[in-house]
Chain A
């Protein structure tokens, strides 16, 4: 079974705080993603990475950055959290028989107060 692990499930942070969301995958694959999910808006891609130290902006990168120092780990960073970043954040990685299926972690619920 593929495994994508998000270390923080539930977080409450104050406006202006720096927030790190960590994601680890065991599929030894290069491609990893960060999405956020909001009611009525569905899943929106924030950033993705095709390899170590590589990153690409998704559809809504503003207010976020990422770090990919090792193949298995992809971190999402909120430099200065704001209340409109309250959301569920989903990390995903590619796996499967043909390495073309995307699997999700369990999600991180972030509340910014």
Chain B
């Protein structure tokens, strides 16, 4: 089983709708979770980090973490064409052990 699993997509969402991206992880010791956005040919860019169970909101983005279910998600409200990218989920086992493990990414396309 991969440490971090994501649906590779592609996921297509109409403009203005909510895009929902999901990620599961296998190590219950995971402490920190990150969502990165990567445009084609570019390096990953950090969007959200989440450390505690529950929701964390930042503008149109909401990260949700459920450690009991080993599940983290990213919701994008009012999706825009500029949100079309590959989204990478990543986790750290513990603070100080800063070896970040990534999923293979979900490709998201926002349809105008």
A residues neighboring B (CB under 8 Å): 31, 33, 40-43, 45, 48, 58, 90, 92, 94, 100-107
B residues neighboring A (CB under 8 Å): 8, 32, 34, 42-46, 49, 88, 90, 92, 95, 98-105
Contacts of A42 in B (CB 8 A): 88, 102-105
Verify B98–A102 contact, CB threshold 8 A.
yes
- Indicate whether A101 sits within 8 Å of B104 (C-beta atoms), given known contacts A48-B99, A94-B98: no
- Indicate whether A101 sits within 8 Å of B105 (C-beta atoms), given known contacts A58-B99, A90-B43, A94-B98: no
- Indicate whether A103 sits within 8 Å of B46 (C-beta atoms), given known contacts A42-B88, A43-B88: yes
- Which of A31, A105, A106 has a CB less than 8 Å from the CB of B98? A31
- Indicate whether A106 sits within 8 Å of B32 (C-beta atoms), given known contacts A42-B104, A101-B49: no
The docked-state distance in angstroms from the alpha carbon of A45 to that of B101 is 8
User: Which 6 A/B pairs are nearest by Cβ-Cβ distance?
Assistant: A42-B104, A43-B102, A104-B43, A107-B43, A31-B98, A42-B102
